[in-house]
Amino acid sequence: MIAKIQKRFALSEQGAKDLVKAVLSVSLQSMALMLPVSLLFLLSEDLLNGGIPENHRILLIGGSVLCLLLIFLTSFLQYTTAFFATYLESKVRRISLAEHIRKLPLAYFGQRDLADLTSTIMADSAFLETVFSHFVPQLFGSMIATLLIALSLFFFDATMALAAIWVIPVAYLIIFSSARVQYSLGRKDVAVKMACADSIQECIETVRDIKANNAQERVLQSVDESIRSVERRLIRNELATSSFMTCAQLVLKLGMVTVALTGSYRFVQGKLSILSFFLFLLVVSRLYDPVSLGLQNFTAILISRSHIDRMKELMDYPIQSGRDVMNPQGFDVVFEGVGFSYNEGEEVLKDVSFCARQGEVTALVGPSGGGKTTVSRLAARFWDPDGGTILVGGVDIKTIDPETLLSYYAIVFQDVTLFNNTVMENIRIGKKDATDEEVLAAARRANCDEFAQKLPKGYDSEIGENGARLSGGERQRISIARAFLKDAPILLLDEATASLDVDNETIIQEALSRLIQDKTVLVIAHRLRTVSGADHVVVLAQGRVAQEGSPKELAQRKGLYQHMCQVQNESQNWSLV
């Protein structure tokens, strides 16, 4: 049963066990809340008989105290099991999500909208927290308590019990019949909310380009329409949900009517005492409250299915795994017949084979879309190839845990990502336990002193979200400083000097020449003069290795590399007039 609950509600084993405890505690609380009805029945019986005997007074006083104590204890138990346990499970869920996401291949993030992923991590987790603290325990707890109370009523009078409880299964049947509709509405609700979030996020991220092109009015109209779509969807959902809920509640209210009519008829016939009639009226007045709440919870649980499915979809996505220990024989990076596609049927790399040797600079050049960046990402196991093998020091990287593998890599991306922290801490990301002296040394080698010393607090200055207070070249130098600090045996440079001016590019290239000693270096470049000093050049075109060799050899050989050299030489003489 625990395994089924885990699968159905996307819970941990302990979370499933805690959910069962919460259901039982809610059942106990509902039963405890019915106890005062028994005392009221006894009091009414004594009053009808002319007075309250001494022993009954003690019983009523003691029973009242006991009822209060039991209600308090069961309420405390219900709160502890239904709320505290749920919050602990919510913590486990978020940590599990973070751990799972950490091990996902980057291919997953390319396939899924990031706003949608953020919603799963934050909004879906928060919604499920509410579901398992407020809805599920109360629903099943009230159902169990209602069943036990209904069975006990049959011992008093089967006809009256039937008159009281016939509405309950009918009401639940109405809500249950709406399951498919509620599930469909839930998915549509999530879809329009995601579209709205995407629209707003896109508007914020591209506000500079929107203003530059005088497109504010058009873009804002699109955002307004997405917001109105959410509004219309919510109205439709509420209307559909309330239609089923109103029908169920209406049927439930008929229970009071049937009890009153049946009781009156049987009382007139002399088959039911006035006290028993009064008892049934008391019981049903209390019985339908948890049932009504359960119906509302049942509707919420039906809606939660779409959120649970999104959570399960994320958790079921296969992760990258491997050994935590890697013993390479050197650090040559070898591609053997590698094929890869981002989307099925759209092959990006086809039978790519080459060797990037330790102690050499291997440049990846070629037209845009040829596969250069993809090759560098595959080398670091950001994705796994569809076919072929990638070896580092003779070890198949697919057998190594990505985090273990990346400890041997220092990477400078073309698009630099910085954090809203100080210059010092942004560089320290390259080596979390680095001393301030090590960070500063790496910063100087990357020529960061020039701009850092001009900041209000030097290296302790905050640089804003994604380095908003820095120029593109300054941000790139921080990224290069991280690589210096990490000092890994394999270095991946993706247009590392693209945002630097000529003077700084020369300085950085000189520093990089010191950094690459005895390292395996893979450089991606569009400007061929950047890789003129490379030891080996791999020319990629249309996902294949078109040419290989030294820059000098390729420049003298007819082919794509020679053509690219000629075109770039001609472009240097181009001017506006």
Distance CA 354, CA 361 (A): 13
Residue 322 inside a domain? The answer is no
Whole-Å CA distances, 87 to 90, 117, 305, 347, 458: 5, 21, 20, 45, 43
Could you tell me if 277 and 200 lie in one domain? Answer: yes
Contact 332, 392 (CB under 8 A): yes
Domain boundary among 316, 350, 370: 316
Could you tell me if 147 and 264 lie in one domain? Answer: yes
Q: Locate tokens 């709160």: which residue?
A: 79
pLDDT of 574 strictly over 70: no
Residue 522 inside a domain? The answer is yes
Contact 522, 379 (CB under 8 A): yes
Q: How many residues does the chain have?
A: 577
pLDDT of 343 strictly over 70: yes
Could you tell me if 404 and 308 lie in one domain? Answer: no
Residue 239 inside a domain? The answer is yes
pLDDT of 7 strictly over 80: no
**Collapsed DSSP state (helix, strand, coil) of residue 481:** helix
Distance CA 336, CA 339 (A): 9
Left, alpha or beta for 323 (phi > 0: left; psi -120 to 50: alpha)?
beta
pLDDT of 382 strictly over 80: yes
Least reliable range by pLDDT among 86-95, 498-507, 550-559: 498-507
| Token pair recorded at residue 520 | 């395996």
Contact 54, 96 (CB under 8 A): no
pLDDT for 313 equals: 79
In percent, the amount of the chain with pLDDT more than 70 equals 91
Residue 32 inside a domain? The answer is yes
Could you tell me if 121 and 190 lie in one domain? Answer: yes
Question: Within 13 A of 320's CA, how many CA atoms are on the CB side?
Answer: 26
Sign of CA dihedral 395, 396, 399, 403: positive
Q: Locate tokens 């593109």: which residue?
A: 472
For Cα atoms 371, 376, 377, give the angle at the middle one, nearest 5 degrees. 95
| Other residues' Cβ atoms within 10 Å of the Cβ of residue 258 | 17
Dihedrals phi, psi of 55, to nearest 5 degrees: -65, -30
Could you tell me if 401 and 415 lie in one domain? Answer: no
Domain boundary among 316, 349, 375: 316
pLDDT of 386 strictly over 60: yes
| Token pair recorded at residue 67 | 């009822």
pLDDT for 110 equals: 66
Could you tell me if 204 and 295 lie in one domain? Answer: yes
pLDDT for 238 equals: 82
Distance CA 75, CA 19 (A): 16
For Cα atoms 521, 523, 525, give the angle at the middle one, nearest 5 degrees. 170
Pairing of strands 536-541, 544-549: antiparallel
Could you tell me if 12 and 129 lie in one domain? Answer: yes
Residue 428 inside a domain? The answer is yes
Distance CA 540, CA 3 (A): 50
Residue 464 inside a domain? The answer is yes
Average pLDDT estimate for 431-451: 88
pLDDT for 336 equals: 94
| Helices 216-268 and 179-205, axial angle in degrees (round to 10) | 160
Model confidence at 160, in pLDDT bands (50, 70, 90)?
confident
Domain that holds residue 335: 330-408+517-572
| Token pair recorded at residue 248 | 């169920």
pLDDT of 72 strictly over 80: yes
pLDDT for 499 equals: 59
Could you tell me if 153 and 261 lie in one domain? Answer: yes
Distance CA 155, CA 285 (A): 19
Average pLDDT estimate for 386-413: 91
User: Who's near 344: CB < 8 A, 6+ residues apart?
Assistant: none
Residue 510 inside a domain? The answer is no
Number of domains comprising the chain: 3
Domain boundary among 260, 294, 316: 316
Beta strands in 400-480 (DSSP E): 409-412
Least reliable range by pLDDT among 105-114, 147-156, 511-520: 105-114
Could you tell me if 232 and 194 lie in one domain? Answer: yes
Could you tell me if 373 and 340 lie in one domain? Answer: yes
Model confidence at 199, in pLDDT bands (50, 70, 90)?
confident
Distance CA 259, CA 161 (A): 8
pLDDT for 438 equals: 92
| Other residues' Cβ atoms within 10 Å of the Cβ of residue 248 | 27
CATH number at residue 344: 3.40.50.300
pLDDT for 265 equals: 86
Could you tell me if 281 and 353 lie in one domain? Answer: no
Using only C-alpha atoms, the chain has a radius of gyration, in whole angstroms, of 35
Could you tell me if 426 and 526 lie in one domain? Answer: no
Residue 177 inside a domain? The answer is yes
CATH number at residue 17: 1.20.1560.10
Distance CA 150, CA 158 (A): 10
Q: Which helix (H) or strand (E) element contains residue 62?
A: helix 54-79
